[in-house]
Amino acid sequence: MSEATSLLATAEAWLAQDPDDETRAELAGLVERARVSDDVAVAELHDRFDTRLQFGTAGLRGRIEAGSNRMNRVLVSQAAAGLAAYLLEQAPAGVTPSVVIGYDGRKNSAVFASDTAELMAGAGVRAILLPRLLPTPVLAFAVRFFDASAGVMVTASHNPPADNGYKVYLGGEHHGSQIVSPADAAIAAHIERIAETALVQDLPRSDGFEIAGDDVVDAYVAETAAVAPAPAGSQLRVVYTAMHGVGWETTRRVFETAGYPAPELVTEQIDPDPTFRTVSFPNPEEPGALDLSFATARAVGADLIIANDPDADRLAIAIPDDAVPSGFRRLTGNEVGLLLGWRAAQAASAALDGDAAPEGTLACSIVSSPALRIVAEAHGLEFRETLTGFKWISRTPGMLFGFEEALGYLVNPGTVRDKDGISAAVAFLGLATASAQAGESVAELLDRFADTFGSFGSDQISIRYAELSRIGEVMSGLRALPPTELAGVRVTRIDDLADGFEALPPSDVLRVWLDDGTRVMIRPSGTEPKLKVYVDVQSADGDADERAATVAARLAALRTDLTALVS
């Protein structure tokens, strides 16, 4: 059989088991074009069927289209059946495994969740479907609330509108954290077996799954509101946006239960909308994503902007700043993470009885600010770095707080073992409110952090390549001929994490240390054909303005050199 014939046969076999009218129709059109040797259609079929989506940094995630390398009902059904087989295999004799399933407001999220519930129930797994579209943190909480064997969240988080995804969590000894090795490989093997040996229409289904009651949401709200009850006295004027996602209903209840006044809303973005019509990219990190929030904040004279991404597992904060045209500046993920980490460290110290030493660990990913280590050491706490992703951060023993610079924060590890943009929002709101009542703005709080621990600055460079192979070439070139200096400062050490480093599992990451304490991290993206470079600079010399100027100048010089190095 020729390669072209084999490709067409694979696509036709997929067509025969696709229950979705939309994806079946668009694939049928591609197949017809490929039959007449349309090169574009043939290339598209290769892209869709030469491989299949694998569990990456954030589970399964891709465009909603037909094919094994896309998100669709066939792939989701195979994933659900494979996960069910894994759970049954892992369950002790005589014990029925269980799974709780959540979904957000993206296209096909409810359909994918329903398919998963039916297939789990059909396989003999107790399946519990959350009562309506809800944030990812509620699903992560629900895994522990129900003492479930696993959890599935159908979401693509802050990806483009055409995408959807499938996050998997494990209960029991994993405490509701996202899957890591070797579970991911074992689940993938079951999925592959299902895909090779069974048709989707032949997989057993059942409508005998459960619909969870509101008690799980009520419990999440109560636990999350307890993170930071409102201090007595005057409150801040806050603007909130859900970024067209599912965060507002739950966030409103948390703020209300904690005793905070209702925020001003970015009404255009407050309800779930799978088209994300007001933003080109529904990620609060992206330029322009917070423009409507800035406009609303200017109109009402806000003190603070709180933004969740569409599934509310991330948090963005913006504060007034007359030095920028919008009048508001979004804080970096490191700035928010360091303030929340400082809050956690101070709380641990305040809770001490007598001369007892504080216990607990502050954790962050290897690409997040190294300043968290200094905060931990200053308060007598442990510090731990992990690989990128909350599936690693959440597993830190004795964790009090964890964060990653990509707007992810874990402030209540006893409740949720994943990043949680809602609990982080109420924690930051409590922090900012208490500071304001003491006569200190968030900007002034950041200055006090710099006075206490030194000035830190971060930058990120993303280089997108037309050919995925170019990423490997660049990483190999850096390993073969590493730089000896950057921006005029000597390189003192390079840690290659490819074979593991100290307590870190192997990862395709280079960590470069410079003579002035600067740290540079270079790694491929886990979700896109990009190389990412993270730069962290620090300065303790001079007054606050001089330190800030030094950090800014160093970041600018390093950006120039590093962009040239990896381009």
Q: How far apart are CA 363 and CA 372, in angstroms?
A: 8
Spatial neighbors of 518 by CB under 8 A, at least 6 apart, are 486, 489, 535, 536, 537, 538, 554, 558
57, pLDDT greater than 80:
no
Six token digits for residue 556: 């600018």
Identify the weakest region by mean pLDDT among 211-215, 334-338, 452-456: 452-456
CB 168 within 8 A of CB 180: no
106, pLDDT greater than 60:
yes
286 and 409 fall within a common domain: yes
Using one digit for the tens of pLDDT, what is the confidence trace for 238-291?
999 999 999 999 999 999 999 999 999 999 999 999 999 999 899 999 999 999
What is the DSSP code (8-state) at residue 50? S
Look-up: residue for tokens 């069974």? 198
376, pLDDT greater than 70:
yes
Which of 213, 242, 271 corresponds to the end of one domain?
Answer: 213
pLDDT, average across residues 5-13 = 94
**pLDDT at residue 514 in the model:** 96
**pLDDT at residue 350 in the model:** 87
**pLDDT at residue 492 in the model:** 97
**pLDDT at residue 172 in the model:** 93
Which of 185, 213, 241 corresponds to the end of one domain?
Answer: 213
**pLDDT at residue 527 in the model:** 61
Using one digit for the tens of pLDDT, what is the confidence trace for 479-507?
999 999 999 999 999 999 998 887 888 88
Share of the chain above pLDDT 90, in %: 88
241 and 378 fall within a common domain: yes
CB 426 within 8 A of CB 228: yes
Which of 452, 483, 514 corresponds to the end of one domain?
Answer: 452
142 and 200 fall within a common domain: yes
559 and 518 fall within a common domain: yes
Q: What is the CATH number of the domain that holds 84?
A: 3.40.120.10
Let me know if residue 228 belongs to a domain: no
Catalytic status, residue 2: no
416 and 435 fall within a common domain: yes
**Higher pLDDT among residues 444 and 467, named by residue:** 444
HSE at residue 347, side-chain half, CA atoms within 13 A, is: 18
487 and 541 fall within a common domain: yes
**pLDDT at residue 484 in the model:** 95
354, pLDDT greater than 60:
yes
Which of 68, 149, 157, 458 is flagged as catalytic? 157
Q: How confident is the model at residue 113 (pLDDT cuts 50, 70, 90)?
A: very high
Let me know if residue 221 belongs to a domain: no
Let me know if residue 368 belongs to a domain: yes
Number of folded domains in the chain?
4
Q: 509: domain range?
A: 454-566
81 and 162 fall within a common domain: yes
CB 338 within 8 A of CB 446: no
Using one digit for the tens of pLDDT, what is the confidence trace for 301-327?
999 999 999 999 999 999 999 999 999
437 and 528 fall within a common domain: no
pLDDT, average across residues 125-143 = 98
Using one digit for the tens of pLDDT, what is the confidence trace for 552-564?
999 999 999 999 9
125, pLDDT greater than 80:
yes
Identify the weakest region by mean pLDDT among 280-284, 359-363, 428-432, 525-529: 525-529
Let me know if residue 127 belongs to a domain: yes
Q: What is the CATH number of the domain that holds 557?
A: 3.30.310.50
357 and 440 fall within a common domain: yes
pLDDT, average across residues 126-152 = 98
Spatial neighbors of 47 by CB under 8 A, at least 6 apart, are 67, 69
CB 204 within 8 A of CB 122: yes
Q: How far apart are CA 71 and CA 125, in angstroms?
A: 23
Let me know if residue 219 belongs to a domain: no
141 and 249 fall within a common domain: no
**pLDDT at residue 526 in the model:** 67
Let me know if residue 225 belongs to a domain: no
45 and 94 fall within a common domain: no
Tell me the sheet residues that pair with 308.
Answer: 315
pLDDT, the chain, mean: 94
Let me know if residue 265 belongs to a domain: yes
Let me know if residue 227 belongs to a domain: no
240 and 198 fall within a common domain: no
**pLDDT at residue 56 in the model:** 65
Which DSSP string do the residues of 330-366 spell out, in sequence order?
EPPHHHHHHHHHHHHHHHHHHT--TTPPP--EEEEET
